[in-house]
Structure 1
Amino acid sequence: MRETPYLVVDELVAEGNLATMAAHARALGVALRPHAKTHKTVELAHRQLEHGAVGLTVATVGEAEVLADAGLDDLFIAYPLWAVGPRADRLRALAGRVRLRVGADSVDGVRMLARAVHAGRDSAAPLAIAVEVDSGHHRSGMPPEDAAEVAVAALDAGLAVDGVFTFPGHSYGLEAAGPAARDEAAALEAARDALTAAGIPCPVVSGGSTPSVRSADGSVLTELRPGVYVFGDAQQWELSATTSESISLTARATVVSRRDGVAVLDAGSKILGADRAPYATGYGRLLDHPEARISALSEHHATVAFPTGTTIPALGAELRVVPNHVCNAVNLVDELIVERDGIEVGAWSVTARGRNT
């Protein structure tokens, strides 16, 4: 008997999610390059490739190093890296052993990347960039119509140019997925056209988030990069981007206190994470009690409010908790316990946990 709290993956549900997204990408006629920052595990990375992914997306050099060590050889760091000092050395070494693409959204950025991988004539390593454009999330990314400036600078600096990409992060909102997907297509089309008008081929037009992926425009995009879809979480559930039946990762937690309408669990922010988006109705949900909400969260306590008239689970009862943001929850543990048909069958090491540089 395991001591709670811990994170559990329902292997069969996860496999179903992998197959469903792979089928969607095939039907859309685009490549699938899932974001591994969600699961941070070698096992799921390989399973995504087995389902037809062309490679993996990551957020950091550290995540890329973990996957490269596990034999994955086509990686996209979808982030405007500032690679100086030790990170520059690591990037150059990584580019020397895998097919590597890195995001960039400035002329200074691509010049810095070129210096990093061309530090010495004998140590030069091949590196491709994708120009990041802002499609409405207003985080990183340049105006789409100016994308050619970065692409030209990259070519002048001796880098290859794969194409353009964006993250439609404003899809994380109620009724926001469709409009965000349309913004994504418009921005990527403008960026692609800017490159081709400058005489630069643009074979990769990359986008996608888990909420917006169902509305992605296959006439513009050539590549999708969803991440959360493999597990699902309470955010996706509330946005109707997944259903309770498709949520494959939960925290197993024990009821340690109870009173009328309330149960307190031993799974706090140190295993669930503390994210609560503006649209979220709580700090997490219970898979088997869909009307309940985590109304308060501290480090080791989750206070769950149940609807009036509901029978409150008994002291000692183990419940399945759905974190609001699964990416954060996974990064808080060393391993994911794997179950099949409710029976523990193994554990996956969260190998890229904490690889934030």
Structure 2
Amino acid sequence: MNRIQGALEALVERIDTPAPIVLVDVMQENIDRMQAFTARNNLDVRPHVKTHKCVEIARRQVRAGAVGITAGNVGEAEVFAAAGFDDIFLAYPIWPSGTKGRRIRRLAENTRLRVGADNIAAINGLADAMGAEPDRLQVVIEVDCGARRSGAPAEAAGDLALAARNRGLVPAGVFTYPGHGSAGPDARKGAAKDQDTALIAAVRSFNAAGVTAEVVSAGSTPTVEFSTSSVITEIRPGEYVFNDLNNARLGACTEDQIALFVAGTVVSDWIPDQVILDIGTKALGREGSPERGYGGIAGTTAVLSKLNEYHGFLPLPAGGFRPRVGTVLPVVPNHVCPVVVNFEEYIVTDSTGTSLERWPVDARGFLN
């Protein structure tokens, strides 16, 4: 964590807190490392932009070799399409209600758009939304691999692909999300194995239906290390670009690979064994628990024990660590994704803290 502390010391007089600080050199190392991993394992990487929601960062990922991007909703896809990204996978089981149908149709006119689906009703809705040109839209069937989120049983994938093809849509392949790999360090490998089992079964189901699964798409940052099965064609990690305490605790990254922290200032110290920071749920979100904390102070064992909307409660561990009022501290979030949506821009520097840029969080607020 020395890189974080060094950068903050150089920046402290030039920023207002709370503020999300991105170490661009660490971030670029993360991007390059993931690209090298996929090259070694004959995989494509399609990073999930929901983590950063920033056009500049996505451009860096594509320049490094990403085949396209993954988005979490139609609004995110629109923001990145408007910025020139023309290969987008909307990895979510979209229901094309309200304005979404025509928005998807417009996106498909100007991009190679893939959309997730896990049921017949959604497939029919997407086909209806595409009107006379359903073949402009590629559908990727989502299957469940044990996370018990969205996703059809793997054995149903072929029937869903066939239903899409019969409606004129293009069934491109299958995807899944091994979210149960975040349960703990020992869960990552098992979740990746579950992912492989589900994807293999889904591809077999496609074959039985007479449909070719050209895309076999896997996630996520915690399980990427083990997502090297020959059945997989691409991976969709998101958090790897910044990393966070959750991934460090899982063993999916080292602390030196964390590229984002939130600078917060000590504003009160009346309680002998505690200080208060100007950083609460409005900045960090609510990820955490009293047992593991709501974010850690880089370079120390101290963690925030409680958050109010604008207050962060920091118990002081034994050993002399007692920051004074006015001290700016680097808070590393448990989960980076909920932090990003709370800010309009990143403060971008490097590990030396000598440079300073501001990059907009372009897709902030786009929730549908």
TM tier, shorter chain?
A: over 0.9
Equivalent positions of 1:72-221 (< 5 A) are: 72-118=85-131, 121=132, 126-174=136-184, 175-221=186-232
1:273·1:323 contact (CA, 8 Å) conserved in 2? Answer: no
Instruction: Determine the structure 2 residue equivalent to 1:263.
Output: 275
2:241 is matched with 230
SS state at 1:96 partner: helix
Provide the residue aligned with 2:335 in structure 1: 325
Contact residue 139 and residue 164 of structure 2 kept, 8 A: yes
Q: Distance in 2 between matches of 1:330 and 1:82?
A: 26
Relative distance call for 1:228 and 1:343 in structure 2 (3 A) is same
Residue equivalent to 2:3: none
Between 330-339 and 124-133, report the one with greater CA deviation.
124-133
SS at match of 1:343: coil
Match of 1:287 among 298, 304, 311: 298
* Root mean square deviation of aligned Cα: 1.4
Counterparts of 2:299 and 2:327, CA distance in 1: 12
Call closer, same or farther: CA 1:245–1:222 in 2, change over 3 Å: same
Question: 1:36 matched to which residue of 2?
Answer: 49
Task: Say if 1:265 and 1:302, in contact at 8 Å, map to a contact too.
Answer: yes
Unmatched segments (≥5 aa) in structure 2? 1-13
CA apart distance, 1:125 = 6.5
TM-score (ref. length: structure 2):
0.93
Q: Note the C-alpha offset of 1:234.
A: 1.8
Letter in 2 for 1:47: R
Consecutive unaligned residues in structure 1, runs of 5 or more: none
**Aligned partner of 1:305: which letter?**
P
Deviates more, 1:5-14 or 1:216-225: 216-225
**Kept in 2: contact 1:256–1:265 (CA 8 A):** yes
Over 3 Å counting, the alpha-carbon distance change for 1:185 and 1:78 in structure 2 is: same
Q: Deviation at 1:293?
A: 1.0
Q: 2:23 and 2:15 mapped to 1: Cα distance?
A: 16
For the 8 Å contact 2:127–2:134, the answer to whether it is kept is: no
Q: Where in structure 1 do 4 or more consecutive aligned residues deviate above 2 Å?
A: 258-263
1:196 and 1:190 map into 2 onto residues whose CA distance is: 10
CA distance in 2 between partners of 1:288 and 1:344 (Å): 22
- Relative to structure 2, which stretch is displaced further, 235-244 or 131-140? 235-244
Deviations along 1:76-110, one digit per CA (max 9) or x if unpaired, are: 00000001231111110011000000000011111
User: Number of aligned pairs?
Assistant: 352
Q: Distance in 1 between matches of 2:35 and 2:244?
A: 19
Cα distance between partner residues in 1 of 2:288 and 2:274: 20
Query: Would the aligned equivalents of 1:30 and 1:221 in 2 still touch at CA under 8 Å?
Result: yes
Structure 2 residue corresponding to 1:64, chosen from 51, 54, 77:
77
- TM-score (norm: length of structure 1): 0.96
Task: State yes or no: 1:306 paired with 2:319.
Answer: no
Counterpart Cα distance in 1 of 2:33 and 2:253: 12
How many angstroms does 1:2 deviate by?
Answer: 2.2
Q: What is the CA–CA distance in structure 1 between the aligned matches of 2:119 and 2:320, rounded to whole Å?
A: 55
1:267-312 per-residue CA deviation (whole Å, 9 max, x = no partner) reads: 111011111269x7111111122x1111111111111223222321
Any conservation in 1 of the 2:46–2:234 contact (CA below 8 Å)?
Answer: yes
Contact 2:178 2:191 in 1 (8 A): yes
CA distance in 2, matches of 1:267, 1:219: 45
Distance 1:272 1:160 in 2: 40
